[in-house]
Amino acid sequence: IKHIQAHRRIRAVHQLKDLCSKETLSQATISSYLMPMISFFVFDATAQKEHNLLTASIDAIGEMAKHYGWGKYNHLLSSYLSLLPKQKNQHKILIRVIVSILNAFHFDLRNVTVTTTEQPSVTDASTDELEDTPEERSDTRDVLNQTSTDQNVRIVETVTRRILPQLEKCPG
């Protein structure tokens, strides 16, 4: 990735993106090592001249964002959104990165609906499946579904109250 020849850096970034799409990497590895290496190319002036390297880096950031949990995903998206008003000369690049991260949104929110009072509510589609199982297993599933449901409600609240207003303020 840090090779002196640009075409080798581009190939290395493509290989990293392919590795991320085929294998499951830990969030710690991605956030501590891989994301800082790839994000460097977004802000490096010499890398910006190599549009193929920049495109490959943006694609890799999007692919790595698919492996993040909600907390890290939200932090990554918020950090690039907060850079938008500060980095006026890099709007085009930052918007491409933000779009790549948004395209990597992988959270299943099918069971969460927003009511007219703007309080997210949950429709439980799995109650029929739980009736036929033993009581202990249903209690465990209820706890897991409740945790997942709570997280999905928080995701919807964050998207509707913080991310969407930030996106509306973006230059268009």
CA atoms of 56 and 37, how far apart (whole Å)? 13
CA atoms of 13 and 22, how far apart (whole Å)? 14
Q: What is the pTM of this model?
A: 0.76
pLDDT digits (tens, 9 = 90+) for 79-138: 999 998 888 888 889 999 999 999 999 888 777 666 545 555 444 443 333 334 444 344
Residue type, 108: D
Q: What is the pLDDT of residue 5?
A: 74
Torsion of CA 41, 47, 48, 49, to 10 degrees: -170
Q: Is the dihedral of CA 94, 96, 102, 105 positive or negative?
A: negative
Tokens for 113, please give them. Answer: 């609906």
